Amino acid sequence: MVRQKTLAIICFTLPTLAFYIYFFLTPVFDTVYNSLFEWDGISDKLFLFLGNYLELLQDPIFYKALGNTFYWVLLVIILQIPLGFFLAYFIYQKVKAFKLLRTVYFIPVIASAVAVSLAFSFIYEAQFGILNSFLKLIGLEQYTTAWLQDPNTAMTAVSLPFVWNYVGLMMVVLYSGLQSVPDELIEASEIDGVNALQKIWYVILPSLRNVLVICLVLGISYAFKQFDYVLLLTNGGPVHLTEVTGTYMYKQGFSEARYGYGNAIAITMMFIVIVFTLIINKVLQPKD
């Protein structure tokens, strides 16, 4: 029986584990290892030790990309989470057609980044795009521009699909959090006669603390990994203005054939995401 059990454990774990180690964990270690070399993908690797990282520290474009990525993190905090929260909070109060509303809010989450990007490229299109057509319609023709090419608007234009895409996800996560806020707490506050904003600030938000932490962690990781929009809409241009860490990593590897450097960017991204996750969990530690 014991032998049979041991055999069963081996049979059930080994194939998956072998697959996972070969196709997932080895690539993770390859990334770390290759980040220590200079390599164009063809010739011999040249060992630099931390050379790539030192170069990264002095690379103004990397700082620009990092700045833009943190701008996305900021957008998560000031737009995505608040929008998601208010949508969740309002439909939680059983407005009419709440199911329809929730269904539609969530559609962007399941649509592919390519579809969302193409849709937004239509919005921004200079000649017939919704945005310019609308501005012309209301007589503000002087404000029309090529949104994705204009240096003043490119970053905002490329960030909007990112924000819009995940508001629905934040809404759903916060909605499920709202369901566990005790009714008595809300009732008690209403009897005390607080106004709507006080209720949100003093009663609802503190009860959602843990869920908000989850949203923050989630938002940060999305800000670092969802660079499809930038790749498809502006490819980091004009002149690196909309570069994010993901596109910079991608282009260093596949356009410049600097795989070592690209891997160093990848590891830096991983490192930042993991450190942020740890710090957030530590500082905003869930309270009982």
Partner 1 sequence: MPRNTNKLSRKFQAKNGIAAIFKYIFIWGYFALTFGLFIWLLMTSFKTNREIFSSPFGLPESVNFDNYIVGLFDANLTLFMGNSFIVAVSTVVLCFILGSTVSYAISRFTFKGNAFIYLLFVIGLTIPLQSLIFPMFFKMHSLGLRDTLFGIILVYTALNLPKTVFLLVGFMKGIPKEMEEAAIIDGCNYWNIFTKVLIPMSRPALATAGILVFIAAWNEYIFATVLLSSDATSTLPLGLASFQTSYTNDYGLIAAGVIISIIPVLIAYMLFQEQIIKGMASGAVKG
Pick one of 37, 147, 162, 227: the residue that binds partner 1 (CB under 8 A).
Answer: 227
Shortest reach from residue 249's CB to partner 1, in Å? 7
Taking the mean position of all CA atoms in its chain, how far away is CA 18?
30
Find the binder of partner 1 among 172, 241, 280, 284 (CB under 8 A). Answer: 172
CB of 242 to partner 1, least distance (A): 16
Tell me whether residue 64 or residue 161 sits nearer to partner 1 (CB atom). 161
85 binds partner 1 per the rule CB under 8 A: no
234 contacts 161 by C-beta, under 8 angstroms? no
285 binds partner 1 per the rule CB under 8 A: no
Nearer to partner 1, 12 or 152 (CB): 12
Size of residue set near partner 1 by CB under 8 A:
98
Measured CA to CA, the distance from residue 24 to residue 277 in angstroms comes to 21
SS3 per-residue string spanning 95-125: CCCHHHHHHHHHHHHHCCHHHHHHHHHHHHC
Pairwise CA distance, residues 159 & 161, whole Å: 6
Binders in 201-220 for partner 1, by CB under 8 A: 214, 218
Q: How many CA atoms lie within 13 A of 119 on its CB side?
A: 12
Instruction: Classify residue 235 as left (phi > 0), alpha (psi -120 to 50) or beta.
Output: left
Answer for which of 42, 43, 60, 95 binds partner 1 (CB under 8 A) is: 95
Structure tokens of 161? 């699909």
Between 25 and 239, name the residue whose CB sits nearer to partner 1. Answer: 25
Binding marks (x or -) toward partner 1, 173..192, rule CB under 8 A? x--x--x---x--xx--x--
* Cβ-based nearer residue to partner 1, 77 or 232: 232
Cβ of residue 133: shortest distance to partner 1, in angstroms?
4
91 binding partner 1? (CB under 8 A)? yes
Could you tell me which residues come within 8 angstroms of residue 76 by beta carbon, excluding any fewer than 6 positions away?
Answer: 163, 166, 216, 219, 220, 222, 223
CB of 114 to partner 1, least distance (A): 4
Buried-exposed string 114-150: b where 16+ CB fall within 10 A, e elsewhere:
eebbeebbebbbeeebebbeebeeeeeeeebbebbee
What residues have CB less than 8 Å from 79, skipping those under 6 apart?
Answer: 163, 167
Hey, which residues between 116 and 145 contact partner 1 (CB under 8 A)?
A: 117-119, 121-123, 125, 127-130, 133, 137
Spatial distance between the Cα atoms of 204 and 87, rounded to a whole number of angstroms: 14
Q: Does 49 bind partner 1 (CB under 8 A)?
A: no
Using CB under 8 A, which of the segments 10-18, 55-63, 74-82, 280-288 binds partner 1? 10-18
* Residue 82 binds partner 1, judged by CB under 8 A: no
